[in-house]
Amino acid sequence: MSVMRSDLGTMKILHLKKRGCFLLKLLCLVVLMLIFCEFLVYYVVIFQCHWPEVKIEALRSSRQSSASVLKAMFLSDTHLLGEIKGHWLDKLRREWQMERAFQTALSLLEPDIVFILGDVFDEGKWSSSQAWADDVRRFQKMFRHPVRTELMVVVGNHDIGFHYEMTTYKLKRFAKVFNFTSGKLITRKGVNFVMVNSVALEGDGCTVCSRAEAKLMKLSHKLNCSQQQEQNHSNKRCSGVEQLPASEPILLQHYPLYRRSDAECTGEDSALPEEKNTPFKEKYDVLSREASQKLLWWFHPRLILSGHTHSACEVLHNGKIPEISVPSFSWRNRNNPSFIMGSITPTDFSLYKCFLPLESRVTTIYCIAGALLGLLILAHLQLFNPPFYFAQHLIRKHKAV
Ligand SMILES: [Zn+2]
């Protein structure tokens, strides 16, 4: 009797051990799947991106031959969700994805400087001061960066509101965090960038608009004088003006310059075919024709990068000035977000688009892994016996009778 009892006890322990072992294996599989889809996948995909080559001849012939190439990263429309329209799960998911993508890009690509082309927040246009503080805290955590990498942010309509809802208060609180209001000129490794407050280019003479225009004209004067001084043209109006590298600037702004629609845009991440022919509204989807002309006259840029449309496009202004629409960096707006990598010298530049993992692909991996786990559990519970074993089981039963 006692022997039978101890046999039963051993069998029970063995059964429990087997079950424990199986559960442990399942747990390992789930953890591995999570590590791959939420962490490693960013490394696998972004590892394939590389800094484009710039023409060395151009670099050698320039006066800045000793200057190294500036590695700049451009992304746009992160739209961190706010407390009113953002669901907590949506927020958590999107922000995790962007944080992982950004942090992986920083560690693998080591850019010198990163520019975000506006609409950092989704609800900056109406958020309370408390909600704003919370959004800013999350932004600073997601987009944390080492000292060797600079982060510059251009203002967008979702950060301070469209022109009709933009106030000095909203612009000031944005400026407090990002040190950007009307416009800014920054020079790195001999390359000039002009950051534009495109929301303030309404042209109606409002206080913020007048300030922005005045600031841009001042910057344009500074740049023009630097170019004239480089060519040894003396100009009285330039006396006392700080000398900058004579390189033509790169414009960075949220709204694109005026274009009729996205009909001419090509590429896998351009607008959807049904949206491409929708005409753009001036001062809403794109800058007005007048403001666009002014920017081209003032700065004679060699390149323009803008955001706002969430889709990709390449436009040529006046037959020679390229503008790149940088698509949204958030999976909430696209299945295939991306950022632009630019190798830039004072005389030349070369751009490359780095795509992030496709959200649909990550979802497919989860679905396949989920189905496999389901099958394993079914097999373990012996509800999934193949017909052969089932028949054998029946015969054995029959013989016993
Ligand atoms: Zn926008």
CA 292/CA 140 separation, integer angstroms: 32
| CA of residue 298 to ligand 1 center, whole Å | 24
Higher pLDDT, 241 or 269: 269
- Cα–ligand 1 centroid distance for 305 (angstroms): 14
Ligand 1 centroid–CA 217 distance in Å is 24
Task: Kindly report the pTM of this predicted structure.
Answer: 0.87
Spacing, Cα 313 to ligand 1 middle (Å)? 15
Q: Which residue has the higher pLDDT, 63 or 379?
A: 379
166 alpha carbon to ligand 1 midpoint, in Å?
13
**Averaged over 113-126, what is the pLDDT?**
94
Mean pLDDT of 308-324: 95
Task: Tell me which of 7-21, 80-94, 142-156 is least confident.
Answer: 7-21
Report the separation in Å between the CA atom of 48 and the middle of ligand 1, taken as the mean of its atom positions.
29
Of 166, 82, 178, 91, give the one whose Cα is nearest residue 128: 82
CA-closest candidate to residue 195, choices 112, 294, 283, 115: 115
Residue pair 43/104 in contact by the 8 Å Cβ criterion: yes
β-pair partners for 188: 191
CA of 338 to the centre of ligand 1 (A): 17
Domain map of the chain by residue range? Answer: 49-357
Distance 143 CA to ligand 1 centre (A): 19
Residue 83 has pLDDT above 80, yes or no: yes
User: 292 or 68, which is more confident?
Assistant: 292
Span from the CA of 196 to the centroid of ligand 1 (angstroms): 14
| Tally: H helices and E strands in the chain | 12, 11
With a cut of 50, say whether residue 263 has pLDDT above it: yes
Tell how far the Cα of 158 is from the centroid of ligand 1, in angstroms: 6
- pLDDT at res. 401: 42
Single out the residue of 136, 192, 142, 191 nearest to residue 159, CA to CA.
136
Q: In CATH terms, is domain 49-357 a member of 3.40.50.1580?
A: no
Residue 324 DSSP SS3 = strand
pLDDT at 246: 84
Q: Compute the average pLDDT of residues 199-205.
A: 90
300 within 8 A of 221, measured Cβ to Cβ: no
Segments of 145-271 assigned E as strands: 150-153, 183-188, 191-196, 250-253
Q: How far is the CA of 251 from the centre of ligand 1 (A)?
A: 17
Higher model confidence: residue 276 or residue 236?
276
Residue 45 CA to ligand 1 centre (angstroms): 27
- 60 pLDDT more than 80: no
